[in-house]
Amino acid sequence: MEKDNNSKKAFDSSGLFYYLIKWYKPLIIVVVAAIVLSSLFSSPWFITPKYSSTVVMFPTASNALSRALLSERTGGKQDILEFGEQEQAEQLLQILNSSEIRDRIIEKHDLMSHYEIDTAARFKMTRLIKKYEKNINFKRTEFMAVEVRVMDKDPQKAADIANDIASLLDTVKNRMQKERAVTGYEIVSNEYRRLQNEIQEMEDSLTELRKLGVHDYERQAQVISEQLAIAIAENNLRGAAALQNKMDVLALYGGAYVSLRDALEHEKKQLSAIKARYDEAKVDAEQMLPHKFVVDRAYKAERKSYPVRWLIVAVTTFVSFFLAVLCIMIIENFNRFKKDFEKVKTS
Tell me how far the alpha carbon of residue 190 is from its chain's centroid. 32
Cα separation, 177 vs 285, in Å, equals 9
Domain range list for the chain: 1-44+309-324, 51-184+288-296, 186-286
Tell me how far the alpha carbon of residue 95 is from its chain's centroid. 4
Cβ within 8 Å of residue 224, ≥6 positions away: 243, 246, 247, 250
Model confidence band, residue 125 (pLDDT cutoffs 50, 70, 90)? very high
Tell me how far the alpha carbon of residue 134 is from its chain's centroid. 20
Cα separation, 90 vs 56, in Å, equals 14
Q: What is the mean pLDDT of residues 95-114?
A: 93
Q: What is the pLDDT of residues 40-87, one digit of tens each?
A: 776 666 667 889 999 999 988 766 655 655 555 545 445 666 777 888
Q: What is the pLDDT of residues 244-288, one digit of tens each?
A: 777 767 677 777 777 888 888 888 888 888 888 888 778 777 767
Cα separation, 327 vs 321, in Å, equals 10
Q: Quick check: 160 pLDDT over 80?
A: yes
Q: Looking at per-residue confidence, does 303 or 99 come out higher? A: 99
Q: Quick check: 13 pLDDT over 60?
A: no
Cα separation, 264 vs 202, in Å, equals 6
Cα separation, 168 vs 97, in Å, equals 12
- Cβ pair 112, 102 in contact under 8 A: no
Averaged pLDDT of the chain? 80
Q: Quick check: 9 pLDDT over 70?
A: no
Of the chain, the percentage scoring pLDDT greater than 90 comes to 20
* CA-to-CA separations, 41 to 34, 47, 134, 305, 330, in angstroms, rounded: 10, 7, 21, 17, 29
Q: Looking at per-residue confidence, does 236 or 323 come out higher? A: 323
Q: Quick check: 221 pLDDT over 80?
A: no
SS3 letters for 107-162?
A: HHCCHHHHCCCCCCCCCHHHHHHHHHHHHEEEEECCCCCEEEEEEECCHHHHHHHH
Q: Residue 295: exposed, middle, or buried by beta-carbon count in 10 A (0-12, 13-18, 19+)?
A: middle
* pLDDT (0 to 100) of residue 228: 65
Q: Quick check: 4 pLDDT over 60?
A: no
- Cβ pair 101, 172 in contact under 8 A: yes
Model confidence band, residue 3 (pLDDT cutoffs 50, 70, 90)? very low
* pLDDT (0 to 100) of residue 307: 67
Q: Looking at per-residue confidence, does 45 or 171 come out higher? A: 171
Q: Looking at per-residue confidence, does 75 or 157 come out higher? A: 157
Cα separation, 87 vs 202, in Å, equals 49
* pLDDT (0 to 100) of residue 159: 94
Q: Quick check: 111 pLDDT over 70?
A: yes
Cα separation, 126 vs 132, in Å, equals 10
Say which CATH topology domain 51-184+288-296 has.
Answer: Bacterial polysaccharide co-polymerase-like (3.30.1890)
